[in-house]
A and B are shown apart, each in its own frame.
Chain A
Amino acid sequence: MDTIAASARPAIGRGMRLQWEPVQNAHVLLYPEGMIKLNGSAGEIMKRCDGTRTIADITADLEHTFATSDLAKDVSAFVSMAVAKQWLQIQS
């Protein structure tokens, strides 16, 4: 799998919708006739993927929000996986 540059700007994939579902207490990704229930960290990453922020911005925001560090590798791995699954797309 190709590594995605930290300057890339991920956005929710075409035809997909991310939303918070109180009944499931989770973010879900909705797509034609289907749904993926996201775990906590996947939800926190994906809700920041608005097509304007870079992966570096998103990583910095997460590290600040959760008072932690060294998230770059995890965020990058998740974004790569999500792009491969078309949950996310990279804005050109």
Chain B
Amino acid sequence: MNAVSEAAVSPALSRPGPPLWLLFELTYKCPLHCVFCYNPTDFTRTGAELTTSDWIRVLREARALGAVQLGLSGGEPLLRDDLELIVAEAHTLGFYTNLITSGVGLTEVRLQALKRAGLDHIQLSFQDSTREMNDFLSSTRTFELKSRVAGLIKKYDYPMVLNVVLHRLNIDHVEEILNMAEQMGADYVELANTQYYGWAARNRDRLLPSREQLRRAEEATQRFRAKVGQRIRIFFVVPDYFERRPKPCMNGLGSIFLTITPDGTALPCHAARMLPGIDFPSVRTASVESVWYDSAGFNHFRGDSWMKEPCRSCPEKAKDFGGCRCQAYMLTGDAANADPVCDLSPYHHLVTEAVVRADGPLPTVEKPLVFRDHR
């Protein structure tokens, strides 16, 4: 079959499923300044935020296509004063609604309103690293804020789900973190090692833990699991730099996930805006249906015709889809290469060298830690 007829036939044969997972990044505004934030480092140069009626139109269109899970994130989504309206509409439409928040701004009045609007789930994220983590570990202001919010979450009958981002500067405190989580009454704790996008990529060499740190943290987690049993469920997510096969990022771009950024740009993953030469559509000018099924941006990495070797002939390509396109681009300069986490990638040494460097002392003056800010 020649290339033209193949191109004409294959999209119809492989019409993708619906965007089951819809993520609204409602705003890039945030009271925190996390060094590991995955938001784009140039977020202040993006356009105006969508209006309430824009978000609601997107909800309706996505739900009609079959979307069922809605994540409400940011930035800090509580900074949008229409959050309750968006939740109410989503709930009426039949979405399962998940709020992903730092807890800053989650007063009892707002939580009551969110509960009434039908909010299904809250994930309280532990955001900042050094400043907030120091506060947290020394039981000061932030710990009080988180505890108050955790108490409210339980009072309104939500499971208490705490997400803590781990990295070189806090991973040695896993035991203390878990003890604090227990004091807060957490039902689930997700210890998620930093993934290196956005601000985190800029800070990678200061955030990547050593193998020894990782080993000790996993041991501490095991000890804690043995102590608390089923009472607290703990998920420990290993940083992919320590793996030999890449993660099946987003289950393949354009297969399940649809992210809408604050300015209405539609992306197949939170970080995809960085990929060069790909024109991602906007829900300001296109319907969700045409964004998902017809846009060049969403079709670009569907299927496997974009793949290069070693992925193209790899028997595992249907399992991991070649890993993460953004990581491939950031580390090799070409988004169509294999994710260098894979030890079959000719660029795998870039990952192993970073891991070896992390076993040494921290880089000192020449590369300071960059806090997310508005400059």
Contact = CB atoms under 8 A, between A and B. Distances in A.
Given A17-B96, A32-B98, A23 B18 contact: yes
Contact of A33 (B65, B71, B94): B71
A35 interface: yes
22 contacts: A14-B159, A15-B121, A15-B158, A17-B96, A21-B68, A23-B18, A23-B65, A23-B66, A24-B66, A31-B96, A32-B96, A32-B98, A32-B120, A32-B121, A32-B159, A33-B69, A33-B71, A33-B98, A33-B121, A33-B123, A35-B68, A35-B96
A30 interface: yes
Given A15-B120, A15-B159, A17-B120, A28 B98 contact: no
A28 B161 contact: no
Interface in A1-34: 14-15, 17, 19, 21, 23-24, 28, 30-34
A35 B158 CA distance: 18
A29 B121 CA distance: 14
Contacts of A24: 18, 66
A28 B66 CA distance: 12
Contacts of B98: 32-33
Interface of A: 14-15, 17, 19, 21, 23-24, 28, 30-35
B111 interface: no
B280 to A, nearest CB: 23
B337 to A, nearest CB: 30
Interface of B: 18, 20, 65-66, 68-69, 71, 94, 96, 98, 120-121, 123, 158-159, 161
Contacts of A17: 96, 120
Given A14-B159, A15-B159, A17-B96, A32 B123 contact: yes
Contacts of B123: 32-33
A30 B65 CA distance: 17
Given A15-B120, A15-B121, A32 B161 contact: yes
- A-B CB proximity, top 9 nearest: A23-B66, A30-B96, A32-B121, A23-B18, A33-B98, A15-B159, A35-B68, A17-B96, A30-B68
B69 to A, nearest CB: 6
A31 B68 CA distance: 10
A33 B65 CA distance: 18
A34 B20 CA distance: 10
Contacts of B161: 32
Nearest to B95: A30
A23 B94 CA distance: 13
Contact of A28 (B65, B68, B121, B159): B68
Contacts of B18: 23-24
A23 B62 CA distance: 12
Most buried by A among B18, B68, B69, B159: B68
A30 B94 CA distance: 10
B159 A35 contact: no
A30 B18 CA distance: 16
